[in-house]
Amino acid sequence: MPPSPETPEPVGSAGGRPRRLFVLRHAKSAWPEGVADQDRPLGARGLRDAPAAGSFLAESGAPPDLALCSPARRARRTWELAAAELAGPVPTRHDPRLYGADAADLLDVLHGVPDEVATLLLVGHNPGLEDLVLLLAGRAVGDALDRVRMKFPTSAIAVLTWSGTWPDLRPGDALLTHLAIPRGTHGSS
């Protein structure tokens, strides 16, 4: 079940504005011969799972104010299919810094998010996304942190909250409220 506005109180800078970060790993991709890594499409499972990720986001209580997406084809297509499940459009930026980024690079990207963005969606790749979640999460609800440590599979969505500003976000500041692994049905296209 998606997180609700009643999720436990975020950690981080005292007195700061509440923030929420959705970290979405692209859906399962195909590996066609002779296709550059950045141009790899989604596979059949990815085409089913990406809309399920969008359904999770739609049920989360507050859509993202902004989506930052890797320019890789599989990440862009994941977000297109997920975004189609939302009630309205979400401003989206395809940021080349997200392709191949490690956790430190991703944190630098987060530090540049405009202050008016309360809820951000980051769409990208492993191992950077998994490492970012582990870097930011100072604590977690239930076993979410242990589950991320075990595996952050394709289409996984981590939900992190804290209070403060984007430039002030530091390792351990966030509460990992949820780890979802949305899966589509085999009857979907």
pLDDT in tens, 127-147: 999 999 999 999 999 999 999
CA distance 183 to 168: 34
In degrees, to the nearest 5, what angle opens at C-alpha 126 toward C-alphas 88 and 67?
Answer: 20
pLDDT in tens, 78-110: 999 999 999 999 999 999 999 999 999 999 999
User: Whole-prediction pTM value?
Assistant: 0.90
Distance set, CA 155 to CA 8, 119, 121, 152, 176 (Å): 24, 19, 13, 9, 17
Question: Which residues, other chains included, contact 108 with Cβ-Cβ below 8 Å and sequence gap of 6+?
Answer: 97
Q: Of how many residues is the chain composed?
A: 189
CA distance 130 to 148: 7
